[in-house]
Amino acid sequence: MAIQMDGKRISKELKEHLSIETDRYLLEYGRPPLLVTLLVGNEPASLMYVQMKKKACEEAGILNQIFAYETISEEEIISLINRWNKTEEIDGILIQHPLPEGIDEATCFRAIAPDKDIDGLSERSSFKSATANAMMNMLDYYGIDVEGKNAVVVGRSTIVGKPTANLLLERNATVTICHSKTKNIKDYLKKADIVVAAIGKPHFIKSEWLKENVVVIDVGYNEGNIGDVDPKGLNEKASYYSPVPGGVGPVTIATLLEQTLEAYKNHVEKTEQRQKRR
């Protein structure tokens, strides 16, 4: 019987911890952490994610201002970001993905000041990809050591697949990245001790392709709350697996807030040091 990794519980505990910390910092520094979110368009899934993050911010004692635009040009986005970069009280800047067609996301992500890019969206960010780091939080919570294990990451996007592979590598796993051009993907999966699925294809990976006692982390979030791994037979095959919904998603949001608090601490400490020097 596999252990289901309880993303909701991990997220709740993280937010409770953050809330205690933000209360303490509010007393010390007189302001809460501030996260600004840019939302463009009216895609229902994006609206829902933005609202979920706002609610989580409230639970953790973080202020979240949402700037929503039906349409906006890339130049206008960049000029907004530049303004936010310079605003001292803003600790984190979040751009809700995806931006509408015609806007180059990577350019917008790169415009965020590295110390405010709490989602870890660009290579310059001072923070890790929140989704990839959320997975590490989940592995840690269950005491799963990846050193020397064969990890297969399916998906190589810059915001999920690649940063996840990097973090697993940092922890001394032997990492293979598979993608849409990989031949005989099942041959890699058969040897994997840890599988991370970040594909965006509902129930793509089947439990028959996996080895006994595998750890499965399903990042996929497809229409209808469906993951990239077919849960059929997973309970018998895996030692641990993260379900969809209730797995990586809630932990990603909590990790995002954790990184926002980190950014805030850096900012208020810098301000203090500047004031002391005067």
User: Which residues lie near ligand NAP (CB under 6 A)?
Assistant: 131, 154-157, 159-161, 178-182, 185, 198-201, 219-222, 248-249, 252
**DSSP states of the chain as a string?**
-PEEP-HHHHHHHHHHHHHHHHHHHHHHHSS--EEEEEEES--HHHHHHHHHHHHHHHHHT-EEEEEEESS--HHHHHHHHHHHHH-TT--EEEEPSPPPTTS-HHHHHHHS-GGG-TT--STT-SS--HHHHHHHHHHHHTT---TT-EEEEE---TTTHHHHHHHHHHTT-EEEEE-TT-S-HHHHHHT-SEEEE----TT-B-GGGS-TTEEEEE---BTTTB-SB--TTHHHHEEEEE-SSSSHHHHHHHHHHHHHHHHHHHHHHHHHHHHHH-
Could you confirm whether 6 is annotated as catalytic?
A: no
Could you confirm whether 273 is annotated as catalytic?
A: no
Q: How far is the CB of 17 from ligand NAP (least distance, A)?
A: 20
Q: How far is the CB of 276 from ligand NAP (least distance, A)?
A: 39
In the complex with ligand NAP, the residue whose CB is nearer, 131 or 137, is 131
Closest residue to ligand NAP, judged by C-beta, is 157
In the complex with ligand NAP, the residue whose CB is nearer, 108 or 268, is 108
Q: How far is the CB of 262 from ligand NAP (least distance, A)?
A: 18
In the complex with ligand NAP, the residue whose CB is nearer, 114 or 200, is 200
Among 6, 15, 53, 162, the active-site one is: 53
Could you confirm whether 187 is annotated as catalytic?
A: no
Q: How far is the CB of 256 from ligand NAP (least distance, A)?
A: 9
Among 91, 115, 117, 119, the active-site one is: 119
In the complex with ligand NAP, the residue whose CB is nearer, 113 or 185, is 185
Q: Which residues are catalytic?
A: 53, 96, 119
